[in-house]
Amino acid sequence: MGLLVALHKPGVSESVRQLVALLEGLGIEVVMTAEVANLLDRQNATPVEELAKTDTLIALGGDGCVLSAARLAAPHNVPILGVRIGGFGFLAEVELDHLEDAFKKFISGEFYLDERMMLQAELWHGENLVWSAIGLNDAVILKSPVSPLPLWEVFVNDELLARYPADGVAIATPTGSTAYTLSAGGPVLAPDVDSFLLMPMYAHTLTLRPLVLPSKAKVTVKLLPQRRPVEGEISVDGQVNCQVLPTHHVLIFRAPFKAQIVRFYGSSFYERLRQKLRWGERQ
């Protein structure tokens, strides 16, 4: 198994040791990066890209670590098992206190794979591809802090949808609908809904609303020139970024592969909604 670790998490050192000891005690070989190997005083390190060549990729940390793991593992059809270290999360499946039981179930095949749609974002300058990234949650295009209010031109399948006077535009997968776009007032999409969410971010008009699009749609976003210099930035999953200028256009579409997240029977998306968002509870 490959091991990807969110090394910034408090208490991560002891969690790594606990996890590796458990896996090796169960007869499982663990492939780790140099940073994790150094933490354990070991020599058997491998480049992070090689983790996607294992049979399963363990993401130890939280949802952010699962997002990083998805970019590595999804193109290679490698399942991801998220182990959570504290905090709020929808994607990391296993709590540290339940590690041994979870891995015994995993070894015996008592699990299923939750397939999640991913998106691909591309930045173009004319006919030249400048930048590309894949993501599990979202692609968010926002103005820079010093830029004036921009006007975003948004196309769906090459047809003009609208010109948005807004801080930005977000395109989210169903998985990403419970992340950044939720905090901005967007709807929650069940993960098996085959669609994208197109969300104006902090629009300066009351008429613009979130739009649910079929997953086969291709969304193009352009930053229109202004009298004053304007620029923006695209961020995929809040982890991979690139500058956006009026000479660029951004293309977002469904990636040709899906993330496969290990789930154990007895847990569900709706249960996580109740637990994480506390739906129906009195304050």
| Residue 165 and residue 149 in contact, taking contact as beta carbons nearer than 8 Å | yes
Q: Which of the residues 41, 63, 101, 237 is marked catalytic?
A: 63
CB proximity list for 89: less than 8 A, separation 6 or greater: 62, 63, 66, 82, 276
Q: Give phi and psi for 148, each to the nearest 5.
A: -70, 170
What is the Cα–Cα distance from 20 to 23, expressed in whole angstroms? Answer: 5
Place of tokens 């458990």: 22
Does 63 qualify as catalytic in the annotation? yes
Torsion 253-171-82-66 (CA) sign: positive
- Please enumerate in sequence order all residues whose Cβ is within 8 A of that of 263, keeping only pairs 6 or more positions apart, or say none: 93, 111, 112, 113, 114
CB atoms within 10 A of CB 202: 12
Q: Which residues are catalytic?
A: 63
